[in-house]
């Protein structure tokens, strides 16, 4: 087309030039041959040439426009051809996938369902499940199906999933302890306490939770983070008389790098590695969506005997297929102490600094973190865990912090009385071992589990908060023997969950003899749980000594060191709706708790030198859980 256009333009140009040359030659050489030619005729010829030139330019513009249209049409045709080729290739792949599925189904139908053919049937089903699907790069990717949902925000390759629930809950107790839905099990009152004659009722929304899960994926590693909080803490101005304003409380805040080769690293505030998992070893959220084996109670203290802690930790884990997982964690250490009758010859810690900790709580001076190791097995029937924990305690001992009399010289001092000469640091190693087993029956509708943890200095790893240590007569630490155990039985249906738990926590005696206290009413015995400790006042109520009306008088002569906490719980959750718009559910829990004490000196006519506290609790909860 371009050659024809060029030839046409050349012809037109030659014609115009010939016409102009002819006109000039006629005027200069043969004027007599055209006697009728005038100036007007010449002007007419010039006008004709100008018009012809304009027509030529118009034809050039038209040809240029047609060339542009033709080129655009060719480009459109090429794009359409490429898309047609891609569509054809996709159709071929889909046809191959369909043919593969048809073949697999045909092979599956050809195998009879007999015991001998079970392996063939299993392989056929696994082949169908593992058929690869081509990812669509234009669609957002889901990295964690358990944690992500309709509210997930996809932003530059990162998935951000807000979560949580709003809770409207109540608690009624037959014996008052002044607590919200978090029960302080080791604070159950003795028979003589005025609170034991009063019941209590509280309504609360403070267990409402706010969570955020963030996940992203690189070439061979999944990167995720989780943060959760509730309102079960109190500020100095928090009351329930008007606005019920309570403070936000951190529950979890951790990050995880999980590699395709089975290695994973977790760091932050997280459920302790000692806490039981539902499968393998992996962090658990606070909503029961993933790897959850916690009691389903409304009580945020869960159940007596549940082994757990939420604390700082850094953890490395390795999975071997889906059958075995191992992990080691370094976690925050903290000790609890209960001791009686000791002299002022020891220092374990101090109250928290005002710029970072709670100034009304005591914090031990920890020499090192707690070390926990765990192995988990999932052989196909049940989930099994074995774990061990090592913790270390230290205090400052003052040999001359306790002397026989004000005139006694000690530690080479020339000044009588107590002094800090010869003081030293003393450490004790503690820890223990535990195991758990969990089975499901009836197509996972029934769950049965047991767990036990035995050791020394591990009382804080259960909700009862029993003490880790007492103090010996010489000021050194005396670790308390602890045991925690929990049994689980749950029934799960589409709308209804029924749960029951039975748990126990135990703290052994830790007693030593202090000759400098031999003339005291304890006969020189100091520590925890002595038979010579006075329990004679545990049955006698005392009137208030302060006229505010809010200060019950503490019982006199009532040591009442806890020997065991025992709790039985029965409850249910009913889901009115559970779907893409979230979950709305109602639950009720009943618990019976006893606090049994070590026997001591009993009053005359008392039923026992080992008084017992008990409580009946009923809790209810309405919750709307975000999808």
Q: Where are the domains of the chain?
A: 1-20+42-71, 169-237+244-625
Question: Which pLDDT score, from 0 to 100, does residue 605 have?
Answer: 78
Question: Which pLDDT score, from 0 to 100, does residue 589 have?
Answer: 98
* Dist. CA 224–CA 234, nearest whole Å: 30
Question: Which pLDDT score, from 0 to 100, does residue 47 have?
Answer: 80
Angle at CA 12, nearest 5°, toward 9 and 18? 140
Question: Which pLDDT score, from 0 to 100, does residue 5 have?
Answer: 53
Tokens of 177: 């302890």
User: Cβ distance 352 to 364 under 8 Å?
Assistant: no
Rg, Å, the chain Cα set: 42
At residue 525, the 3 state secondary structure works out as: strand
* Dist. CA 339–CA 342, nearest whole Å: 7
Question: Which pLDDT score, from 0 to 100, does residue 117 have?
Answer: 53
Q: Which of 198, 180, 207, 185 is nearest to 569 (CA)?
A: 185
Tokens of 527: 């520590």
* Dist. CA 592–CA 41, nearest whole Å: 127
Q: Mean pLDDT for each consecutive 10-residue tract of the chain (627 residues)?
A: 50 47 42 57 77 78 76 70 69 61 52 52 50 53 81 92 97 97 96 96 97 94 96 90 92 96 97 96 89 95 97 97 96 95 95 91 95 97 97 96 90 92 96 97 96 97 96 97 98 97 98 88 91 93 93 94 98 96 97 97 83 97 96
Distances in Å between the Cα of 145 and the Cα atoms of 132, 261, 342, 440 are: 17, 20, 56, 22
Sequence-distant (6+) residues with CB within 8 A of 307 are 274, 275, 276, 434, 451, 453, 461, 462, 484, 486
User: Cβ distance 166 to 624 under 8 Å?
Assistant: yes
* Dist. CA 172–CA 193, nearest whole Å: 18
Beta bridge partners of 153: 160
**pTM reported for the whole predicted model:** 0.77
At residue 461, the 3 state secondary structure works out as: helix
> DSSP states of 298-311 as a string?
SSTT--TT----EE
* Dist. CA 565–CA 305, nearest whole Å: 8
Tokens of 173: 């107790």
Question: Which pLDDT score, from 0 to 100, does residue 31 have?
Answer: 42
Cβ atoms within 10 A of the Cβ of 219, count? 5
Tokens of 535: 């329990």
* Dist. CA 410–CA 418, nearest whole Å: 7
Largest interatomic CA distance in the chain: 165
CATH superfamily of 169-237+244-625: Porin (2.40.160.10)
Question: Which pLDDT score, from 0 to 100, does residue 502 have?
Answer: 98
């Amino acid at each position: 087309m371009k050659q024809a256009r060029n030839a046409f333009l050349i012809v037109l140009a030659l014609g115009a030039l010939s016409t102009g040359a002819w006109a000039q030659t006629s005027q200069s050489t043969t004027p007599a041959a055209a006697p009728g030619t005038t100036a007007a005729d010449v002007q007419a010829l010039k006008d004709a040439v100008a018009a012809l030139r304009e027509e030529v330019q118009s034809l050039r513009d038209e040809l240029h426009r047609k060339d542009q249209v033709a080129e655009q049409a060719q480009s459109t045709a090429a794009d359409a051809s490429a898309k047609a080729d891609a569509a054809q290739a996709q159709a071929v792949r889909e046809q191959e996938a369909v043919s593969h599925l048809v073949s697999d189904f045909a092979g599956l139908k050809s195998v009879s369902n007999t015991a001998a053919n079970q392996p063939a049937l299993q392989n056929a089903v696994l082949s169908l499940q593992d058929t690869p699907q081509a990812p669509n790069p234009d669609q957002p990717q889901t990295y964690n199906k358990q944690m992500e949902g309709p509210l997930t925000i996809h932003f530059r390759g990162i998935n951000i999933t807000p979560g949580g629930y709003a809770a409207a809950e109540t608690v009624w107790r037959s014996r008052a302890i002044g607590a919200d839905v978090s029960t302080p099990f080791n604070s159950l009152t003795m028979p003589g306490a005025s609170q034991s004659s009063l019941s209590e009722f509280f309504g609360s929304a403070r267990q409402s939770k706010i969570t955020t899960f963030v996940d992203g994926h690189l070439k061979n590693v999944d990167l995720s983070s989780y943060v959760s909080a509730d309102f079960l803490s109190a500020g100095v101005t928090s009351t329930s008389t008007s606005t019920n304003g309570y403070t936000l409380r951190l529950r979890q805040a951790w990050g995880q790098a999980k590699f395709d080769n089975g290695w994973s690293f977790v760091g932050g505030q997280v459920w302790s590695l000692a806490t039981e998992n539902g499968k393998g070893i992996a962090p658990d959220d606070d909503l029961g969506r993933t790897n959850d084996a916690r009691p389903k109670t409304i009580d945020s203290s869960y159940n007596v005997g549940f082994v757990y802690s939420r604390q700082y930790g850094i953890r490395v884990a390795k999975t071997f297929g889906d059958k075995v997982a191992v992990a080691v964690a370094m976690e925050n250490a903290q000790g609890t102490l209960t001791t009686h009758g000791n002299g002022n010859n020891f220092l374990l810690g101090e109250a928290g600094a005002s710029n970072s900790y709670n100034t009304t709580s005591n914090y031990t001076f920890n020499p090192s973190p707690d070390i926990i190791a765990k192995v988990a097995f999932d052989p196909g029937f049940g989930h099994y865990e074995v774990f061990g924990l090592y913790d270390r305690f230290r205090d400052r001992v003052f040999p001359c912090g306790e002397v026989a009399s004000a005139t006694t010289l000690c530690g080479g001092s020339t000044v009588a009385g107590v002094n800090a000469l010869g003081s030293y640091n003393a450490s004790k190693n503690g820890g223990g071992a535990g195991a758990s087993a969990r089975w499901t029956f009836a197509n996972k509708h029934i769950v049965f589990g047991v767990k036990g943890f035995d050791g020394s200095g591990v009382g804080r790893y259960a909700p009862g908060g029993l003490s880790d240590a007492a103090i010996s007569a010489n000021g050194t630490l005396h670790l308390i023997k602890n045991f925690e155990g929990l049994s689980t039985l749950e029934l799960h249906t589409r709308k209804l969950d029924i749960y029951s738990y039975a748990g126990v926590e135990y703290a052994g005696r830790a007693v030593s003899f202090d000759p400098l206290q031999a003339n005291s009413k304890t006969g020189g015995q100091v520590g925890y749980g002595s038979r010579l400790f006075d329990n004679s006042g545990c049955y006698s109520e005392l009137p208030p000594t302060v006229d505010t009306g809010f200060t019950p008088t503490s019982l006199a002569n009532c040591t009442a060191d806890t020997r065991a906490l025992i709790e039985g719980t029965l409850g249910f959750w009913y889901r009115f709706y559970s779907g893409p718009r979230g979950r709305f559910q109602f639950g009720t829990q009943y618990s019976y708790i006893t606090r049994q004490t070590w026997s001591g000196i009993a009053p005359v006519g008392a039923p026992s030198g080992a008084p017992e506290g008990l409580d009946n609790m009923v809790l209810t909860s309405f919750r709307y859980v975000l999808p």
